[in-house]
A = this chain, B = another copy of it.
Amino acid sequence: MSEVIAAVEGGGTNFNCALFDLEGRLLVRQRFATAKPKATIEQCAAFIKQSRRGSRIIGAGLACFGPLDLRRGSSSYGAILATPKPGWESFKPKASLEDALEVPVSLTTDVGGSALGEHHAGVARNTEDFVYITVGTGIGVAAFLGGRLLEGASHPELGHCSVRRVAGDSFLGNCPFHGDCVSGLASGPAIEARWGKRGEELPPEHRAWDFESAYLAQLCTTAIYAYAPQAVVLGGGVMAAPGLLDRIKIKLGKLLGAYHDTFVVDAAGAPRVVAPGLGGDSALYGAFALARSELER
């Protein structure tokens, strides 16, 4: 009987599910809109079970939106903490998926999963120290350092750090916790709230991208000072905007100043800031990689 591993990326908008063989080949996948917590998990589990055919599911990985309680020994370990998403606060997606699949489930954040995926099969395959930043519904930051995901007492929340206002930006910010932290100024919903249009509808010459590149360059700078990585991977829906990555790199070079050389530069002396190699599938591959590595232990 062949063995397979399930992978779930739990996002605020969609849940992506897949089965992988033990060599890391994606066998089957499906996407469900994020609904009520228990129903969403059960829909994923039903798909996974019906797709396994003759194979045995030996474990699963879950890369889930948060904030998550990842404090070791916490009584609410694995629970979703303060979230504006109705019904999800205090829900335990890992425990729920374990009940439904009856296998051990390895848990990390969505952005932690993306970092693991990019290290496993993406652009950071040979990089032991890098930062993954996702810019989408929110802004998440994961640090992969010395070959493992950084988790202190819990996971980082650098996507809520403060940035300096760009002159002329009077938008109040839309982070429910901090107002104008970097998530409140530069996430997808922040762009839409500020300009009345989604990022996809704003042309490359729109002022929105001056603001966006300035705030994300500041976030990259803070992440570089915090983690001293060899590279920064910038993913998420907002990063699909044409030219945005290059504009961030130019501003980042200026912000780093003389500290530039110490950190992330490529052979041409430019900051090593790159797009993900797995596109929107980083977290799904990461959930698989996490489950496999924990099963091997």
Q: Give A residues with C-beta under 8 Å from B.
A: 67, 69, 71, 81-82, 129, 143, 145-146, 150-165, 177-178, 218, 221-223, 225-230, 257-259, 261-264
Q: Is the CB–CB distance between A225 and B158 below 8 Å?
A: yes
Complex: chain B residue closest to A231, CB-CB: B153
Q: Can you tell how many copies of this chain the complex includes?
A: 2
Shortest CB–CB separation between residue A83 and chain B, in angstroms? Answer: 10
Shortest CB–CB separation between residue A142 and chain B, in angstroms? Answer: 11
Residues of B within 8 A of A164 (CB): 162, 164-165
Q: Is the CB–CB distance between A153 and B263 below 8 Å?
A: yes
Q: Measured between alpha carbons, how far is A264 from B71 in the docked complex, in Å?
A: 11
Given the interface pairs A163-B162, A178-B257, A221-B162, the reply to whether A226 lies near B156 with Cβ below 8 Å is yes
Partner of A259, one of B82, B163, B259: B82
Q: Measured between alpha carbons, how far is A263 from B156 in the docked complex, in Å?
A: 10
5 sample A-B contacts, Cβ–Cβ < 8 Å, listed by A number: A146-B152, A153-B263, A157-B259, A160-B225, A177-B259
Complex: chain B residue closest to A160, CB-CB: B225
Given the interface pairs A150-B145, A153-B263, the reply to whether A226 lies near B222 with Cβ below 8 Å is yes
Q: Is the CB–CB distance between A153 and B177 below 8 Å?
A: no
Given the interface pairs A67-B262, A164-B164, the reply to whether A129 lies near B152 with Cβ below 8 Å is yes
Cβ-closest 7 pairs across A and B: A152-B228, A226-B226, A129-B152, A154-B228, A153-B230, A157-B225, A129-B153
Q: Measured between alpha carbons, how far is A209 from B150 in the docked complex, in Å?
A: 34
Residues of B within 8 A of A263 (CB): 153-154
Q: Measured between alpha carbons, how far is A262 from B83 in the docked complex, in Å?
A: 12
Q: Measured between alpha carbons, how far is A156 from B4 in the docked complex, in Å?
A: 40
Partner of A143, one of B152, B162, B163: B152
Residues of B within 8 A of A163 (CB): 162
Residues of B within 8 A of A154 (CB): 228, 262-263
